Amino acid sequence: MKKKVLSVLSLSVALWMNAQEKDSLNQKKIDEVVITGQYMQQSINKSIYKVEVIDAEQIKNMAATNVAEVLNQSLNIQITPDTRSGNSTANIMGLNGDYVKILIDNIPVVGDTGLGSNIDLTKITLSNIERIEIVKGSMGVEYGNGAVAGVINIITKKTSTKKVSVRGSVQEETVRDNYDLKKRGNGRHIQNLNIDYNISNEWFASINFNHNQFMGYEGESKGYKYFGQDNQRGYEWNPKDQYDASALLRYTKNKTTFFYKLSYLNENFNFYNPEVSRNPLNDGVGGVSYESRDRKYNTDRWVHQFNIQTNLGHIRYMGDFSYQNQDRKYYDYNYDIPNRAIKSRQDEKSYYKTDVIYSRGMFSNFLDSKVFDFQLGYELDYTNGYAALIAGDFFGEAVKRKIFTYSNFLSAEWNVSDKFSLRPGVRLSLSENFNNQYNYSLSARYKTSENSNLRAIIGSANRFPKYDELYTYFVNLNHDVQGNPDLNPEKGFSAGLFWNQNFSVDNGWKIAYGVDALYLDVRDRIEMVVVKQPSTYKYMNLNTYRNLLFSANVDFRKDQFALSLRGSVNGTSVSMNELTSSSPTDFQYLVQAGASATYKLKSTDTNFALYYKFTGPDRIYVSDGASGFRLGKVDSFHMMDFIVSQPFWNKHFEISAGVKNIFDVTRLNSTAIAGSAHTAANGFVNLYYGRSYFARLMFQF
């Protein structure tokens, strides 16, 4: 019922507003600028880093519902879903979300286990995003802890060209072949509404609301009503329901700009236990009850963010300040399946809880020179939270810990000539829990011609251990799983070479292409290893990780047509050590290819968009218990989406329809999964829930 009310409300508000200045649903193309890794907003062509940009028009054409779906189209970024927890994190160059820094407007996002890393990307919606910037490689000088494999910076919209602007959409999707609008129905149901208001020349305000309801996907399971005792109850993809809202107030005058943004997210996630117990009622007539012990999660996230950019004389200052809180609570309950009733439930308590105070400040333009500049900055992160309860309760209570880190960083940018620029940098990070960490970087850009650039970048980054790696302690008859408070931070190093060129030809074609090579090395990797047979595990600094990435892309554009082709080869070598054996260290290679094409009919403005991505077979070494290591394999797969969009009523409305995951990818066969301390290995990877169809109505006034 809620989603129907929200849909009607969104449309009613849009129709009630008086139409303001004409504006298309498609944003106008302007000179593309980036902020990730920059002293100030900079043209992407002049950026000293290789920055990949996914702009608002691309995001709209994809008809994606969250950041995870957008990034899944990018090569060498694989979104890894956990169908048990409902979280989906980014994997870059074979490294999981712990090694990828996720930012919103240059501020790290709070997650279950800390700040900026291992972030659930399905909790970040797209309704007010201007662009997504991606930098691969170690970015420890600029972004500190966790920026080992790369940085993903999500930039939200903070301006409007009109006095009042109302935008919104209603989107309905099937979940494979399941869909209906009933309260306990199937499918995915999304509504969002955004209102922008230019109060005056200096003041701008915006509010945004989004609702995303996913009703779950049974797959080879049989739903929550099933009470057979064959471990087939529940869902392959469990249901979850998200509400998020934000409000922004921005001020701009002369050389000073500041904004305050308040964001709130609520997510309800249901886990239905596949195990069903049969309990005699002892009623004299042979009655029995069928019960399962299910779990419900409720996540609340509050983000307060303040940013200021101003000049202190000729010195530029940019400051970010944020207080963030995320509390993921849960309770277990005994569910009487045939009678659809909760018989008993535990008290609700926190599963993960994280409070963060964060600040980052940067001073630049000390010399007021276009030839030489340097930047001085600081970053502090005070995180107060609970250790992850991955192995149950810690003797009935979660382990509460505080981690405080403070960093100073310094870099200089020297424009040696009109063609050649250099930027060295260094960071010192201090922590009450760990030894001092030093990170460094050296970036260079050479303008090989008017329309081409060659970039060379080396850099380092560290990753501090997480709560569960430090403090987990779970011992019973079958398990002995221990954290290690003496762990050292992991150390990452990367070196990259990037070349790109663009040009136009006489018949109107615009062509751009590029070639990239990137090497990544991570030392002192933290892994859970067997320290005593058969079941004593401990986190230790033992492993090393190396990755080689070669990629190329070419883009064609003419009039209403655009085509992009991409390809990459990614090699991974991992050194793993167990109690009695070590893994081979030869490189295993993964091939990926991708393409996207868009075409707009001039006569009707009908837009066609096609997205394709191929991921080849992935081979990695996994532990095989006492027998050592074996080479496992994950099957290859193809992904394709097709979307058609049609604006109407003077482009105030647009209707879109299409199909996602055309090749119906669900599970991938895998022999590359090792059993962990408390889970058995499966013979498959749950990657997607299959082909889905959608329809979307967008409006803008």
Question: What does the pLDDT read at residue 626?
Answer: 61
Question: What does the pLDDT read at residue 301?
Answer: 95
Judged by DSSP in three states, 9 sits in helix
Residue 314 belongs to some domain of the structure:
yes
Residues 246-273 have a mean pLDDT of 95
Residues 257-263 have a mean pLDDT of 96
Number of domains composing the chain:
1
Computed over every residue of the chain, the mean pLDDT equals 87
- For residue 681, pLDDT over 70 is answered with no
Question: What does the pLDDT read at residue 68?
Answer: 92
Task: Enumerate residues 6+ apart whose C-beta is below 8 A from 285.
Answer: none
Question: What does the pLDDT read at residue 47?
Answer: 87
What is the rounded distance in angstroms from the CA atom of residue 141 to the CA atom of residue 462? 10
Question: What does the pLDDT read at residue 434?
Answer: 86
CATH number for 598: 2.40.170.20
Confidence of residue 507 (pLDDT cuts 50, 70, 90): confident
Residue 108 belongs to some domain of the structure:
no
Question: What does the pLDDT read at residue 321?
Answer: 96
Question: What does the pLDDT read at residue 415?
Answer: 92
Residue 152 belongs to some domain of the structure:
no
Confidence of residue 17 (pLDDT cuts 50, 70, 90): very low
Question: What does the pLDDT read at residue 659?
Answer: 97
Residues 298-305 have a mean pLDDT of 95
Domain coverage including residue 323: 160-700
Question: What does the pLDDT read at residue 396?
Answer: 46
Q: Is the peptide bond before 584 cis (omega within 30 degrees of 0)?
A: no
Task: Enumerate residues 6+ apart whose C-beta is below 8 A from 12.
Answer: none
Question: What does the pLDDT read at residue 126?
Answer: 87
Residues 410-429 have a mean pLDDT of 94
Residue carrying structure tokens 């903070």: 158
Residues 376-388 have a mean pLDDT of 82
Residue 308 belongs to some domain of the structure:
yes
Confidence of residue 6 (pLDDT cuts 50, 70, 90): very low
Give the H/E segment covering residue 400: strand 400-415
pLDDT tens-digit profile of 554-602? 999 999 999 999 999 999 998 877 666 788 889 999 999 999 999 999 9
Question: What does the pLDDT read at residue 4?
Answer: 39
Question: What does the pLDDT read at residue 45?
Answer: 83
Confidence of residue 506 (pLDDT cuts 50, 70, 90): confident
DSSP string computed for 501-569: EEEE-TTS-EEEEEEEEEEEEEEEEEEEEEEETTTEEEEEEEEEEEEEEEEEEEEEEETTEEEEEEEEE
Q: Write down the pTM of the prediction.
A: 0.90
Question: What does the pLDDT read at residue 677?
Answer: 44
Residue 168 belongs to some domain of the structure:
yes
- Low-confidence winner among 6-20, 302-316, 378-392, 525-539 (lowest mean pLDDT): 6-20
Residues 35-55 have a mean pLDDT of 86
Question: What does the pLDDT read at residue 674?
Answer: 60
- For residue 392, pLDDT over 70 is answered with no
Residue 408 belongs to some domain of the structure:
yes
Residues 65-81 have a mean pLDDT of 90
Residue 493 belongs to some domain of the structure:
yes
- For residue 225, pLDDT over 70 is answered with yes
Token pair recorded at residue 145: 């802890």
Between 553 and 629, residue with greater pLDDT? 553
Judged by DSSP in three states, 2 sits in helix
Length of the chain: 701
Dihedral over Cα of 348, 353, 355, 361: its sign = negative
Burial 295-333 (b: 16+ CB within 10 A, else e): bbbebebebebebbbeeeeeebebbbbbbbbbbbebebe
Confidence of residue 69 (pLDDT cuts 50, 70, 90): very high
- Low-confidence winner among 36-40, 63-67, 583-587, 667-671 (lowest mean pLDDT): 36-40
Confidence of residue 644 (pLDDT cuts 50, 70, 90): very high
